[in-house]
Amino acid sequence: MKNAIKMNELFRLYAPIVGLGATQIIGYGALMYAYAILLPRMADDLGLSLSTVFGILSLGLFFGGLVSPLAGHLVDRYGGRWVMTGGSILAGLAVVAMAWTKGPVSLFVFILIAEGAGMFVLYNVAFASIARLESSVRPAQAISIITLFGGVASTIFWPLTLALETALGWQVTWMVLGAMVLLVCVPIHFFALAGPQRDPETVAKNAQQDWPQLRGSDRRKGMIWMIISFVCSGYLMGAVMTLWVTNVQDLGHTAALAALAGAIIGPFKTIGRFLEMVVSRNLYPLTTYALSMGLMLAGFGVLLTVGFSVPGIILAAALYGMGDGIKTIARGTLPLALFGQKGYGARLGWISFVQMGVNASSPFIFAWMTQTYGGWFSFATMAGVLSLAVGAYFFIPDPRKRVVLA
């Protein structure tokens, strides 16, 4: 009897977290990773260039950044249930509508709607929503679990989307992906987030007593340097996703080996997040963030020195994947630790707005470097940008030291 009660209690506590984690797999798979497979096919059939379709995607991502602050503000005010339910309905319908794309105008409209709606269902809103939900599970731990699920999105959806497109064509594939969002994500968001909500005004005083917040002028300084570091460390993501195979081939490897090494990144993101989750009770988010950047820099170091060998390129992908996976957790937990629960959703939204606005240029800039100077130089520049993120990190005030000094 006691075991049954305990199991029911664990289910009540963790079902919303696991549910949101599952929706992140489908959300990122349908709203992010599917484009890499389907847009080139659509470009061929519609008589469009790759630069045109991916340029439209960049505009859609930029629009998503514009609406991110609104999504975060709504979660802060009303909780995540209706925000994420409505967002997943609109996102699912937009993904289904992609099947009826006839040209650049309709593609632009559908992607704009899909990416705008995506900002109401992906990581930042999921983090803010689970932090608002009344639970004895710490928000930082919940965020770690959610990202643990999201890390396998590329591993699942790249081969799944390719298999669907090969068997059914891109039109039917978009319908299937949209149906997954509507049939799985919508009910999970509606039911998993139906519990009582934390009051941001009172929880700000009690939610993280072991994590003192920044005060006074340190808050502004912390926000500025944190955003600069986030922008620099995040600037690589789009470039790595789009140029990894091309750059690795330029180092002297075959396309098959480059793709294999790239496929390793996804699972190692999950491994990194699992390891962080195991020790998260003992790690302050500033430490977690430093660890993530250290692993990513180590990956680039291996890549630039011994990346011409097979073991080197595999090890580089594994190190980078682990670091990038942990960085996603820090992106959610560090603002919570430094600035507290109050206004958390809107804060994540504004951070996302700045990041996506700047990072939209990343694939173009690094593609130009690859074309002009080669893959090694492109990777070296990525490592340089990541070093800037590390430099900015050291200017972020640590509120624990401020308390000690007081």
Distance in angstroms (rounded) separating the CA atoms of residues 61 and 360: 7
- Higher per-residue confidence, 2 vs 320: 320
| pLDDT bracket for residue 9 (50, 70, 90) | low
CATH topology for 210-401 is Growth Hormone; Chain: A; (1.20.1250)
Q: Which CATH class is domain 2-198?
A: mainly alpha
Identity (one letter) of the amino acid at 378? Answer: S
pLDDT at 12 over 70: no
247-278: pLDDT as tens digits: 888 899 887 788 778 778 878 888 888 887 77
Q: Write the CB contacts of 91 (distance below 8 Å, at least 6 apart in sequence).
A: 27, 30, 31, 114, 117, 118, 120, 121, 181, 185
Mean pLDDT, the chain, whole residue set:
84
Q: What separation in angstroms does the CA of 72 have from each of 7, 16, 53, 109, 128?
A: 33, 19, 29, 23, 7
pLDDT for 20-56, tens place per residue? 999 999 998 899 888 877 888 898 899 988 778 878 8
Specify the domain boundaries for CATH 1.20.1250.20 within the chain: 2-198, 210-401
8 Å CB contact between 333 and 364: no
Residue 206 has pLDDT above 60, yes or no: no
Q: Are the C-beta atoms of residues 342 and 200 closer than 8 Å to each other?
A: yes
The helix (run of H) or strand (run of E) holding residue 108 is helix 104-118
Say whether pLDDT at 207 is over 50.
no
pLDDT band at 5 (very low <50, low <70, confident <90, very high): low
pLDDT above 90: percentage of residues in the chain: 36
Q: For residues 244 and 247, give the distance between their C-alpha atoms in angstroms, rounded to a whole number.
A: 5
Q: How confident is the model at residue 301 (pLDDT cuts 50, 70, 90)?
A: very high
